[in-house]
Amino acid sequence: MKGPEDDAGLAGKVALVSGGGAAGDGIGNGRAAAILLARAGTKVLVSDRDLKLAGRTVEMIEAEGGTAAAQAGDVTDEADCKRLVEAAVDRWGRLDFLDNNVGIGSRGSVVDEKPEEYRRVMLVNVETMFLLSKYAIPAMIKTANGGAIVNISSISALRPRGLTTYSTSKAAVIGLTQAMAVDHGRDNIRVNCICPGPMYTPMVYARGMSETARRQRARASVLKIEGTGWDVGHAVKFLLSDYARYITGQVLVVDGGVTLQGPERDSRDH
């Protein structure tokens, strides 16, 4: 009899999770997705620019009996993207899933932003997804059942709030997702997008965050609760699973209803 985690077409498959590390034992979006996929029987290649951070995710997976491997990679580099896909295929013979999870933040208007910073944000937040997908999709086509990709965007793409370059990059992720879904539906490859709200993750609290700011972020949700990396991880797992077999080119907002309320400019009280 299949266990509760093994009934969604995830067991025996292979996933590449970019940005799968996190500081210490913190649970970021990528680490959560990697752990949850491994619990469902997926073999996971955890990629991060910092091999130690990816390695810690692998340790956490292996401690639960899952299968994973860590691979250092700078996904802004095309050659590294190609190597990451090859590493997954070389190790496990296939690639079924890609979680494009890398991203950085930015503040300011077009007047305030420096052109070099704009280009850097677009490179990290958009081009990395283009590059990894460029090499992942041909590998997925070789499998019998195609594959699935999840790109991580942000509610800032849907409701700009004073983070102009960041919002632009995350809106581009949505466009890329929908275009890829159209291009590769014939290959039985589904491509979807998640727009997280103000999640409490290591990337956020590493910059320092007051308890007042943390409470304010929680109150922004209509549920009045705080989102975490686990919330995004569960959404990734769902969209990669057979439960989402008829879903492609869609944007799943994971924000506790933040976008249902009036926008507020981003607070610098972190």
CATH number assigned to the domain comprising residue 32: 3.40.50.720
pLDDT at residue 207 is higher than 90: no
Residue 197 inside a domain? The answer is yes
Q: For the chain, what is the largest distance between any 2 Cα atoms, rounded to a whole number of angstroms?
A: 60
Q: What is the reported pLDDT for 119?
A: 97
Residue 168 inside a domain? The answer is yes
Residue 240 inside a domain? The answer is yes
φ/ψ region of 178 (left if φ > 0, alpha if ψ in -120 to 50, else beta) reads: alpha
Tokens of 51: 């091999």
Q: How far apart are the first and last CA of the chain?
A: 48
Residue 25 CA to residue 75 CA, distance in Å, equals: 23
Percentage with pLDDT > 90 across the chain = 81
Residue 57 CA to residue 104 CA, distance in Å, equals: 20
Residue 39 inside a domain? The answer is yes
Residue 191 inside a domain? The answer is yes
pLDDT at residue 227 is higher than 70: yes
More confident residue, 90 or 208: 90
Question: Looking at this protein, which amino acid is placed at residue 266?
Answer: D
Q: What is the reported pLDDT for 262?
A: 66
Instruction: Check: pTM over 0.85? Answer yes or no.
Output: yes
- For residue range 235-269, list pLDDT tens digits in order: 999 999 999 999 999 999 999 999 998 665 555 44
Q: What is the mean pLDDT of the chain?
A: 92
Query: What are the Cα distances from residue 50, in Å, to 70, 71, 80, 223?
Result: 10, 9, 13, 35
Q: What is the reported pLDDT for 270?
A: 35
Classify 251 as helix, strand or coil: strand
- For residue range 133-167, list pLDDT tens digits in order: 999 999 999 998 899 999 999 999 999 888 999 99
Residue 237 CA to residue 59 CA, distance in Å, equals: 20
Would the CA dihedral through 199, 16, 73, 180 be positive or negative? Answer: negative
Residue 222 inside a domain? The answer is yes
- The domain containing residue 159 runs over which residues? 14-254
Half-sphere exposure for 143 (CA within 13 Å, toward CB): 21
Active site residue 243: no
Classify 270 as helix, strand or coil: coil
Count of domains in the chain? 1
Q: What is the reported pLDDT for 269?
A: 40
pLDDT tier at 201 (50, 70, 90 boundaries)?
confident
Considering 166, 200, 205, 243, which one is annotated as catalytic? Answer: 166
Residue 269 inside a domain? The answer is no
pLDDT at residue 193 is higher than 60: yes
Residue 135 CA to residue 129 CA, distance in Å, equals: 10
Residue 41 inside a domain? The answer is yes
- For residue range 122-133, list pLDDT tens digits in order: 999 999 999 999
Name the β-bridge partners of 95.
Answer: none
